[in-house]
Chains A and B, each alone.
Chain A
Amino acid sequence: MESTLPILILAIPLAMFLILGIAGCKMSHKLAAALGIAGMGTTLVLSYITALTYFFAPEFTGADGLREQLTVFNWEWLAFTKNLVISLGFFLDPISAMMLIVITTISFMVHLYSLGYMEGERGFQRYYAFLSLFSFSMLGLVVATNIFQMYIFWELVGASSYLLIGFYYRLHSAVAASKKAFIVTRFADLGFLIGILVLSYYTQTFDFVKMTSDPSWVLESTGGATFMGASVLTWALVLIFTGGMGKSAMMPLHIWLPDAMEGPTPVSALIHAATMVVAGVFLVARMFPVYMLEGSATMIIVVVGALTAFYAAMVACAQIDIKRILAFSTISQIAFMMVALGVASAGHGEVSHHGLGYMASMFHLFTHAMFKALLFLGAGALIHAVHSNNYTAMGGLRKYMPITHWTFLIGCLAIAGIPPFSGFFSKDEILAACYAWSPYIGVWMSMVAALTAFYMFRMYYLIFWWNEPHYHHAPHDAPVSMSIPLIFLAAVSCVAGFIPFGHFVTWNRMPYDIHIELPVAISSVVIALVAIAIARHMYIKENPLPAKMKAALPRLWDWCHHRFYWDELYQFITHRIIFNGICRPLAWFDRHIIDGTMDSFATVTNKASDAIRPLQSGQVQMYVWYYLIGALLLAGVTAVCVL
């Protein structure tokens, strides 16, 4: 493949960032937005051309039906040693091609949507600059040819996320949220970095192709070394997964994502729903053949994923802020993808299920990106209309905002897994993979799916039905620039499920046909419908039932509402233990013990000179005494020595 298009895909957003970042303050809002949108539009077209060429042009499918992995270009950027080289390259395989489509689509939609949403905001140009930076970083991440390139862009998406969450930098809450997001993910990245170090120490390579094309070689290269009871490969993979946990907000590193909703809503749609937060999933998928070797590592992924999915779903049922509901829903859905990856690799069940979870995970990533972005943009339109994030300020909005209502409903149906919307197909594949791995995990995930349907429709009914509060001025649908993305994404959510995903993305790049597992499909649809029915019963119009339930289970409500007190726990650890328990004593130690010792040298010298100072009394006759005594002593010493 020619490398011109891929280079442009990365270069255009970067150039846009630089132009808007440096010269933005001199531009008008319109010009900046036009530049940003034009740049992203071009990138969108180029990415589609690249991805579609890759998927459909025959030359990228080998004779045995395998899709090829393509390193379009790979430039040496920093050579640590002969083998350990960071290259900046462009790697094209099914998942990176798919991600190209996802990222550019959502990013373009968000660029477009922001035109209306951010209209007249201070720092409008800066906003577009950061969006371009983010798009560049995210694209660089997915096309990484080696794990260190991924780490580089991993850090860059983290930084752009920091900048965008803190966009409203005058607000304390936004600043705190951005700081929290950065530090929590930075902590996870530490794990990622150490994982890379360990892995590269044994394999002497960063290259994905080298690692994944022959994973057993990776296993051999460690030579069976162990560290504290576990094999070093397990350590490396778990540490790398820690990085993924941070970015993808898996428990216990999920705490930053709900707070990240302080950023502008389109940013939440782009970064914290569709693209950056799935980077962890993407990372595991990228390293999938290696993970497949290590049962214990995948076991950890499954357990973390399953717990997170359930936890986030529980919490989402008791939130008031609609963006937070969506955030927890995102956490839960990403956990679905993680679980799917975990169950895929273990190789239980029939051969056809081997790797099914991988495909399901990627499929869900794709569909989820579309419908979750849709939901977030819809939420943005709602917030734009009523100027509040809380559903308590909404209600009965279906009459005022029909476009938002219908698109939002489609998003809810998709995420709840109702056919024929896209979420049904991908979630069905995940559940099938789970059941094939272990019935327990299957039942568990089905339960989470039911909760998903419940909290989404709880939110839906509370926003669009329930009881209409008094609006100061009637809310109305968003302007065209905001509606178009909604409609487009809704349309995608309707049809995306019919994409024969197995033809494009599978773990061994061998196309295969998806077939719907009827027992799983039927049962999950039934469960979802029941959950929706319950939500409808409770929330379609104002009634005391929810309050009664809350009163009946106050503990549960409190815990869910306060997110099981994770934030308080972190607050305690960071402030009480690390800040007050380590930093302050250390600083005290430095000032008083270390510096005190150094100062005491000076003090001792001063004291000593003070002590001998009176010898210089100015009395000539005293000096004669000293001289005399000294001379006599010297004479005595000389005499003793000589004799």
Chain B
Amino acid sequence: MEFTAIYYLIPALIMFCAGVYGFITRKNMIAMLISLELMLNAVDINFVVFNRFLFPEAMEGMFFTLFAIAIAAAETALAIAIIINIYRSNKSVDVRTLNEMKF
């Protein structure tokens, strides 16, 4: 059995959809953040897979993924910092309470 790109892409797609679903339905911001990470990682997998199967001689996809992981780490740190601050002021991490930025 040969592992073609599709074997990697379908799990990535499932991961991504799960991330989207989670991001939309979860009300806890931490959970939303995790969903976000899920989507990000799904995309990272795609990058690596396309690089590996379509352009094996090039390395851009790999590098891009590495960068993305690094940035995702930073972003997560930032997001958690924000969430903690929100929690401090609101005593809640429920996203529905955060609608001050409306019209």
Are A625's CB and B24's CB within 8 A? Answer: yes
Within 8 A of B (CB), among A193-232: none
Within 8 A of B (CB), among A584-643: 613-614, 616-621, 624-625, 628
Q: From B20, B32, B98, give the contact of A618 (CB < 8 A).
A: B98
Q: From A617, A625, A628, give the contact of B99 (CB < 8 A).
A: A617
Contacts of B96 in A (CB 8 A): 619
Query: Which size bracket describes the interface of A in this complex?
Result: 10 to 19
Are A619's CB and B20's CB within 8 A? Answer: no
Are B23's CB and A621's CB within 8 A? Answer: yes
Contacts of A621 in B (CB 8 A): 23-25, 95
Name the residue on B nearest A609 (C-beta): B103
Q: From A614, A618, A628, give the contact of B100 (CB < 8 A).
A: A618
Task: Report how far A621 CA is from B98 CA in the complex, Å.
Answer: 11
B101 at the interface (CB under 8 A from A): yes
- Chain B: residues with Cβ within 8 Å of the partner, total of 13
Are B102's CB and A624's CB within 8 A? Answer: no
Within 8 A of A (CB), among B49-103: 95-96, 98-103
Shortest CB-to-CB span from B13 to chain A, Å, is 14
Shortest CB-to-CB span from A627 to chain B, Å, is 10
Task: Report how far A621 CA is from B100 CA in the complex, Å.
Answer: 14
Q: From A618, A625, A628, give the contact of B102 (CB < 8 A).
A: A618
Main secondary structure of the interface of A (DSSP, over half): helix
Contacts of B95 in A (CB 8 A): 619-621
Task: Report how far A624 CA is from B100 CA in the complex, Å.
Answer: 17
Shortest CB-to-CB span from A502 to chain B, Å, is 95
Task: Report how far A428 CA is from B91 CA in the complex, Å.
Answer: 116
Given A618-B98, A619-B95, A621-B95, decide whether A613 and B24 contact each other with a Cβ distance below 8 A: no
Contacts of A619 in B (CB 8 A): 95-96, 99, 102
Contacts of B101 in A (CB 8 A): 618
Contacts of B23 in A (CB 8 A): 621, 624
Are A616's CB and B24's CB within 8 A? Answer: no
Shortest CB-to-CB span from A626 to chain B, Å, is 11
Most B C-beta atoms less than 10 A away, residue of A614, A619, A628: A619
Name the residue on A nearest B100 (C-beta): A618
Task: Report how far A614 CA is from B103 CA in the complex, Å.
Answer: 7
Task: Report how far A414 CA is from B102 CA in the complex, Å.
Answer: 95
Are B24's CB and A624's CB within 8 A? Answer: yes
Task: Report how far A624 CA is from B35 CA in the complex, Å.
Answer: 13
Are A616's CB and B20's CB within 8 A? Answer: no
Contacts of A628 in B (CB 8 A): 20, 24
Are A613's CB and B99's CB within 8 A? Answer: no
Name the residue on A nearest B101 (C-beta): A618
Task: Report how far A620 CA is from B94 CA in the complex, Å.
Answer: 11
Are A616's CB and B102's CB within 8 A? Answer: yes
Most A C-beta atoms less than 10 A away, residue of B32, B99, B100, B103: B103
Shortest CB-to-CB span from B100 to chain A, Å, is 6
Contacts of B32 in A (CB 8 A): 620
Name the residue on A nearest B23 (C-beta): A624
Shortest CB-to-CB span from A485 to chain B, Å, is 85
Given A621-B23, A625-B24, A628-B20, decide whether A613 and B103 contact each other with a Cβ distance below 8 A: yes
Cross-chain pairs A/B with CB under 8 angstroms, 7 sampled: A616-B103, A617-B99, A618-B99, A619-B95, A619-B96, A620-B32, A624-B24
Q: Which 3 A-B pairs have the closest CB atoms?
A: A618-B99, A618-B102, A616-B103
Known A619-B95, A621-B24; further 5 A-B contacts with Cβ < 8 A? A618-B100, A618-B102, A621-B23, A621-B25, A624-B20
